[in-house]
Structure 1
Amino acid sequence: MPLSPGDIPLPFSAQQAAARLEPTDDDHLSLRDFKRIADLISTEVGIKLPPTKRLMVEGRLRKRVRALGLASLDHYGAYLFQRDGLAAERTFLINAVTTNKTDFFREPEHFDLLEDRLVPDLIELRRGERKPLLKIWSAASSTGAEAYTLAMVLADLLAQRQDFRFAILGTDISTAVLEQGVRAIYPTELLAPVPPAKQQRYLMHARKPGMRPEVRIVPELRRLVHFARLNLMDTSYPFDRDVDVIFLRNVLIYFDKADQEKVILRLVSHLRPGGYLILGHSESMIGTTVTMRQVAPAVFQKA
């Protein structure tokens, strides 16, 4: 279980605590501490943080500095690397600096393809089974927008066909975004891309909306979506090897070529024959040794 800020031993006396200042935009990581953080994230997560990302990292860590009650990013660096705080802080650090860009119905043509072609083809491949269970994996699920988009699309298709079942897995390295995925509560404006009919069927509105209106995914969909923590840099993944479709969109761009290939090979090993890997439109498998048939832009089928 992750430690809360109150559980973490801080490296300052009460007298120093009284003198702490609010971190400001003038507060910066030392070049040495930034490099140490970048090396850690590269080694453990695979994400590259070049010097051009230094300001972005500092901006994200200032909130963490405040949560810990530290005076500055310089104190935070000292806590991590000089006072053995890294063991307690590792999960929080990864949560803070990893990118979690996600939207509902992002790159919508992939969901159209899933509904119109991929799912029907997958069901046909298993025509000997009665209501086959389709397993869909959102391999960098962030806060769950992609996973719940998939659930909406498949639930609508199931209502029409009634000849399959489905289950969705969402994985991410960030425990913070996984927790939001489990809660399935989102700002109302984030759901704007969801078609109105699906909003009516799959979203619940609070009876007394707060200052920032929020909605929650209906329990019928939440029961079909499961979330788990996964580091794509791990040498193996503890999940089924008969997955029908894996979404890994707009993630590989943060990895170098060698790590891209390793991640793709590991994911493909979890696909059943005839299953599909879907990447982001800005990504490709050119330069890798992975052999899959391309069936649409950024969509590949396992032989």
Structure 2
Amino acid sequence: MTARSTRRRLLAAGAVFASGALLLVGCGDQTDDAGDDGKETESSSSSSSGTAKSPADLLPQKIKNAGVIEVGSDIAYPPVEFKQGGKVVGIDPDLAAALGEELGVKFEFTNGKFDSLLTGLRAERFDIVMSAMSDTKNRQDGTDPETGKKVSDGVDFVDYFTAGVSLYTVKGNPDGIKGWDDLCGKKIVVQRQTVSHDQAKAKSKECEDKGKKKISIEAHSTDIDAQTRLRGGGADAGSSDYPVAAYAVQKSGGGNHFELIGEQELAGPYGIAVSKDDTELRDALKAALEELIKNGEYQKIIDKWEVPEGAVSEVKINGGS
């Protein structure tokens, strides 16, 4: 029995009296067998009596009984998720709280290293992963991005935000770096197993193919560690998701530590990761997020964190490439 299962047994007794109310929360619709384009089938978009199902109706019974969706997250990635005054705050926690209102359950965040979150999901330590995780084909398929070899069963993603990766340097940009091509023979800091990490590896190979020195890549377990290393003079540049890099430039040292370089690249969706065999939960999350977009709560959260360029108007399943 997993730790998550044990916990649910303890929660179930208290949740049973609330379960009837939970079923009435929200109003939306989604199929259990939605494909990559998120299309619905007529049979799953309504009950046998023809009544449309709410997002809460779509939840698996084990979640309804527990009243909790357990979230794995690397809570050191401001402004997406981070701790402030002892509380977990950010874009993802705010969206999770709003999703919880739609679904009639709580979202409880557990902190973990980014590169171990999908392993934790497969081990059933979490129900979902919500951690500024880019929806990529490799993660969907469970393949290694460098070798293409199958390493896991993969996951499904419910896409909820769009972001690319950005370069940044210490304030003043002493090396005059204008883009990735200027990093050949220089050192970059990134967070391990992120899209920025993959981009740095690809750009390093391009340097070698052109007969130039490769990029020295220093990968850290958290983005904050990478920022600290750059600020201390241990690298020439850093790369992370655009909203994170922009936030660091704006906030770190009162705006005196870093500056952005060039435009963001490789823009793609962030997704809520769900096990491939947990289609009910996946579809309930999609339906709830669609309700948040429809009723304006999604946009309020986007506006609060000043990231309008990342907003989505359509919720897709496995929309990444």
State the structure with bigger RCO (CA 8 A, min sep 6), 1 or 2: 2
User: Do they fold alike, i.e. is TM over 0.5?
Assistant: no
Higher helix proportion, which one? Answer: 1
Larger radius of gyration: 1
What TM-score does the superposition give when structure 1 sets the normalisation length? Answer: 0.35
